[in-house]
Chain A
Amino acid sequence: MRIRKNRQTRIDEGDMTPMIDMTFQLIAFFMVLINFSEVEQNQEVNLPSSELAKPPDVPYEEPLTVQMLADGTILFGGDKMDSQGLESALLTEAQIVRAHAEKRLSDVTVVIRADKEAKTGKVQEIIEKCQDAGFDTFALRSRQSNISTLTTP
């Protein structure tokens, strides 16, 4: 009854209800998937793939991410640097960890995200610099792969 009365005075531009339903669906979808964590994953780094790589069962206590692009540029803490810069940045980081009452150097895991075309020697140098600074636990990052990477197509 009410609707019948309003029909004369209301301007209805086509039924908007299904569109609003879809909009609510989309909002719910994005709300469920939203990820606010600031993960240090520079998209320029093409990680090598491996079928054995799996995310750690327990998240690392103190992850420290060092990235390397294909040309050898090192990204650490949001800055681009070369290996000299990395040395000083790592020493600073080690001092900060030592100064902190509850953290220890042995709890720190250095996560290395190197491009698949980066030179192995340079990655080894990063590992050496981290060892010099006092870190000894490393995790080499790679992309997960469902197919075997042992054979080259």
Chain B
Amino acid sequence: MKIRHTGREDKIELQMTPMIDIVFLLLIFFIMTFKIVLPEGDFNIRMPSPASNVTAQPSETPTLMLRITADPNGKLAGLQLDSQSFGNGPQAFAQLHAYIRSLIADEGGPGSADDQEIELDCDYNLDYGYVVRAITAITGYVENGQQHKLIERIKFSPPKNP
């Protein structure tokens, strides 16, 4: 009726309402299916089973032994690398990191750091977060946006069943 009244010119009035309805539907769909996936990083460790490890050549440098002890609640009780003890204070891992940096820098040469192996001996009920921090302290550091590697060969001692 409206169109007829406005004269003989054919005016096609575009109905915007349905389009806006569909647009809102689309918007609701995308909002509902929006999933915030946080980017996660990895530490890569290659750990062949101990049985097959017998054939691996022993490294020239002696294996370092990192002992991480836990209190009954799972919190850090002590951090010890061979004979060096770092305690359990807030700076323990930073000190461990500094010590390892000095070790690797001392031995010098491009090949020695690749050969160094470290074994992690952790208490059974230690919180896993400390292990990741230890691995962070051991494997490298980020300086001026560049990643530097320290020790890359890591293995775990068999878990001590409680």
Q: Which residue numbers of A lie inside 8 Å of B, CB to CB?
A: 2, 5-6, 9, 16, 20, 23-24, 26-27, 30-31, 33-35, 37, 39, 41, 47-56, 111, 113-121, 123-125, 127-128, 131-132, 136-144, 148-153
Contact bitstring B25-69, A, C-beta under 8 A = 1, else 0: 011001101110111111111111110100000000000000000
Residues of B within 8 A of A120 (CB): 70, 122-128, 130-131, 159
- The answer on a CB contact under 8 Å between B160 and A121 is yes
- The answer on a CB contact under 8 Å between A143 and B122 is no
A131 to B49 CA separation, bound complex (whole angstroms): 5
- The answer on a CB contact under 8 Å between B147 and A23 is no
Residues of B within 8 A of A52 (CB): 41, 43, 136, 139-142, 147
Q: Which residue numbers of B lie inside 8 Å of A, CB to CB?
A: 2, 5-6, 11, 13, 16, 20, 23-24, 26-27, 30-31, 33-35, 37-50, 52, 70, 74, 90-91, 93-94, 97, 122-133, 135-137, 139-142, 147, 156, 158-162
A–B Cβ pairs within 8 angstroms, 19 of them: A9-B2, A20-B20, A24-B23, A27-B27, A30-B31, A34-B30, A35-B35, A50-B41, A50-B133, A113-B40, A121-B123, A121-B125, A124-B122, A136-B49, A138-B44, A140-B132, A148-B94, A149-B136, A150-B94
Interface contacts beyond A53-B40, A53-B41, A54-B147: sample of 5 additional A-B pairs, CB < 8 Å, sorted by A: A6-B6, A132-B49, A138-B44, A140-B43, A143-B40
A106 to B91 CA separation, bound complex (whole angstroms): 39
- The answer on a CB contact under 8 Å between A48 and B133 is yes
Residues of B within 8 A of A35 (CB): 35, 37
A123 to B122 CA separation, bound complex (whole angstroms): 11
Residues of A within 8 A of B142 (CB): 51-52
Q: Of A39, A113, A118, A136, which is within 8 A of B47 by CB?
A: A136
